[in-house]
Each structure stands twice: as C-alpha cells, then as structure tokens.
Amino acid sequence: MSILHPFSGLAQSPGPESSRPDEVLIAEDDPISRRVLESWLRKWNYRVTALENGLDAWSVLQQQDAPQMVILDWMMPGLEGTELCRRVRSQQGGRYKYLLLLTAKGRKEDIVAGLEAGADDYLTKPFDVNELRARMRTGKRILDLQDALLRVQTELQFQSAHDHLTGLWNHGAITSLLQRETQRSSRMGHPLGVMMADLDHFKRINDSYGHQTGDAVLREAASRIVASVRNYDYVGRYGGEEFLIVLAECTTSDLIATAERMRVCLSGSPIETEVGPIPVTVSIGLAARDATAAVQLTGDDLLRVADMALYRAKTNGRNRVESAPEIQKASLSHAATHQ
C-alpha cells in the first residue's frame, strides 16, 4: 500500500498484494511421483511445497499466503483431489488458485467430474513432462491475467472515490463519509466536527496565472489542509476550490483550534509555483455536533450550518474562521419540532 493518508486520501491508489505465481503446492501421496514432480518443477525455477496428503494441503491452502499454483493427485488418503478442488472453490475471498488435477483415471466422465469439481485442468498419469510444463505456463498466464484484472479493479475503485487532481476524497465519497460519521456519532455519543473551507479570490489566481497554475495551487492547498488535520480525519474536495473536512470525536474547541491551524498553514507562506510564489488565504465555516444533546443535527444540517458559517467568514472579510451558532440553534429547534 502506498497511501500516505489512508483516510484523508492524498495519494496514489493502493495496489493489490503481489501475487506469487512461481510458488507451487504439490499434494501427491505416491512418493516417487511426488519426487519426480518436485524435481522437474524446481528445475523450471518454481518454488515447491510438496505434501503427501490432501488434509495437509487443505490446511496450507487456507492460509492467506498459500501458493496459487496447485497440483493435486486425485486419489489420496484423507482428502481426495476433487474434494480439495471443491473446498478451494468454495473459499470466500483470497487470490485465485490454479488447480491442476493429476489422475490415473483417463475416462471422459472422470475428467468431466474433475473439471466440475473446480479443477482448471488435468494431467493423466504417467504424465508427459512437456505437457506438464505447458500446463504450468497456462496456469501462470491465468494467474497473471487475474492479477491484472484485480489491479484494474482496485484502481477503478480508488478512482471512483477520489478526486484526480488532488487525490482527496471526491464529492460523492466525502458526502457519504459525512453521513456515516454522523450516524456513528449518534451511536457512540461522540462529538463530530465539520469544516467547509473555501480558498479566497481563487478566480483571480486563474485569471492572473492561468488554469494550470491554478491547478498547482489547488494541489498544494489540498496538501496543506491534509497536513493540518489528524490522519484519521476525512478531507474531501467538495467542489472547485471548496473542501469539506469531517473530524470524528472532535469537540468544538478542538474544531476551532484545528481550523485556525489550517488557516495559518495555508496563508503562512506563499505557494511555490513555476511562475513564482503565490499567496493564498482560506475562509472556513464550522459546524459541531453534540451527540449527547436531546436533539441532534443530521449530516445535511451540518452541511447547511458549515456553509452559512463559511458565507459569514466571506462577508466578514475572508481569511478567517467562523461558526454560525444561531443557525445551528435554528436547525436544532427545527429538528426538535419535526422529531
């Protein structure tokens, strides 16, 4: 995982754990076949674990880092190869296993039964070495393909929840996180803080230096916002140059102190860009949720209160932190009459 801030999300996407297609598990009760298989596979640079019964193989296959290439004898004491195939296929999660069934049974119906039990392929005994090698290559291709698909899936999942310019949570994700944290706050009786932070006169930066420089300023502003909160707070890009920050278990006084730290962190030194240093300031609106009060604010109430507070910070001169206690009170009494 290469995420710097797993919750705040300033980062590249996490890759899936690396696969290990060069590791092979052999389950074969016949010592001679086992040794022959083992020596060929080692010769082809596979790392081999060779076991003599199905039960031992099953206990290895249940481990998280189990080999993904598996060669299973059909007839074994304890647990047969086909039953092992069924168990592996009914496992939830984990990486795909390529299962190659070894069988002395060469009849068509046996082979169909083996494949139906979940084997990817089979080899009849005595096996041909070139055929074994070709089957192993096929297995590796399947595992590599599976790996590539997983990587794409992980990347798509990351992209669907993150803003591509800043790496922060995107609008949809941060809004869901706010709803989730609001529910958690009610359940646990913990306070919750929300900030709406908007860069001041950002349009002027675009107008003076161009959109690309504006983008660079936005990226650095996002980093500074992330740097000024705890790494388990959630930072999202709510809109163009507007950020929504959700801070679990944050009291009102913590919220004010953090917002002030964020304001200073953004305006403390100009942002270095290719066209030179550009000073920025931010206005921040706050909303706090007291989960022990009789009437409680919803996620939407918190958004509305933080937005009104931000509006106040703008009209009061920008580069400042504001809350809107009377809006918060009005929201509470509205909530009370609708309970």
165 binds, among ligand GH3, Mg ion, none (CB under 5 to 8 A by kind): ligand GH3
* Catalytic residue of the set 181, 220, 241, 242: 241
Based on the shown chain and the rule CB under 6 A, indicate whether residue 206 belongs to the binding site for ligand GH3: yes
Q: Rounded CA gap, 270 and 87, in Å?
A: 61
Q: Which helix (H) or strand (E) holds 209?
A: helix 202-209
Based on the shown chain and the rule CB under 5 A, indicate whether residue 80 belongs to the binding site for Mg ion: no
Which C-beta is closer to ligand GH3: that of 117 or that of 161? 161
Q: Is 251 helix (H, G, I), strand (E, B) or coil?
A: coil
Based on the shown chain and the rule CB under 5 A, indicate whether residue 29 belongs to the binding site for Mg ion: yes
Q: What string marks each residue from 181 to 200 as x (binds ligand GH3 by CB under 6 A) or -? A: -----------------xxx
Based on the shown chain and the rule CB under 6 A, indicate whether residue 313 belongs to the binding site for ligand GH3: no
Which C-beta is closer to Mg ion: that of 73 or that of 181? 73
Torsion of CA 10, 11, 17, 19, to 10 degrees: 160
Residues 86-125 that bind ligand GH3 (CB under 6 A): none
Looking up tokens 């019964």 gives 53
Burial of 330 (0-12, 13-18, 19+ CB in 10 A): middle
Cα of 330 vs its chain's centroid, Å:
38
Question: In this chain, which of 122, 202, 234, 243 binds Mg ion, going by CB under 5 A?
Answer: 202
Q: Is 185 helix (H, G, I), strand (E, B) or coil?
A: helix
Question: In this chain, which of 136, 218, 226, 248 binds ligand GH3, going by CB under 6 A?
Answer: 218
Based on the shown chain and the rule CB under 6 A, indicate whether residue 287 belongs to the binding site for ligand GH3: no
CB 263 within 8 A of CB 282: yes
Smallest Cα–Cα separation from 243: which of 256, 229, 257?
Answer: 229
Q: Per CB under 6 A, which region of 74-82, 212-220, 255-263, 288-296 contacts ligand GH3? A: 212-220
Q: Per CB under 6 A, which region of 27-35, 110-118, 126-134, 211-219 contacts ligand GH3? A: 211-219
47 binds, among ligand GH3, Mg ion, none (CB under 5 to 8 A by kind): none
CB of 143 to Mg ion, least distance (A): 25
Question: In this chain, which of 141, 201, 329, 334 binds ligand GH3, going by CB under 6 A?
Answer: 201
Residues 220-239 that bind ligand GH3 (CB under 6 A): none
Q: Rounded CA gap, 11 and 275, in Å?
A: 25
CB 109 within 8 A of CB 128: no
- Is position 241 annotated as part of the catalytic site? yes
Peptide bond preceding 21: is omega within 30 degrees of 0, i.e. cis? no
Q: Which amino acid is at 191?
A: P
Residues 212-271 that bind Mg ion (CB under 5 A): 241-242
Q: Rounded CA gap, 230 and 194, in Å?
A: 13
Distances (CA, A) of 217 to 111, 148, 170, 209: 63, 34, 18, 11
Based on the shown chain and the rule CB under 6 A, indicate whether residue 240 belongs to the binding site for ligand GH3: yes
**Catalytic residue IDs:** 241
Residues in touch with Mg ion (CB under 5 A): 29, 73, 75-76, 198-199, 202, 241-242
Which residues would be at the binding site for ligand GH3 (CB under 6 A)?
165, 198-203, 206, 211, 214-215, 218, 240-241, 314, 318
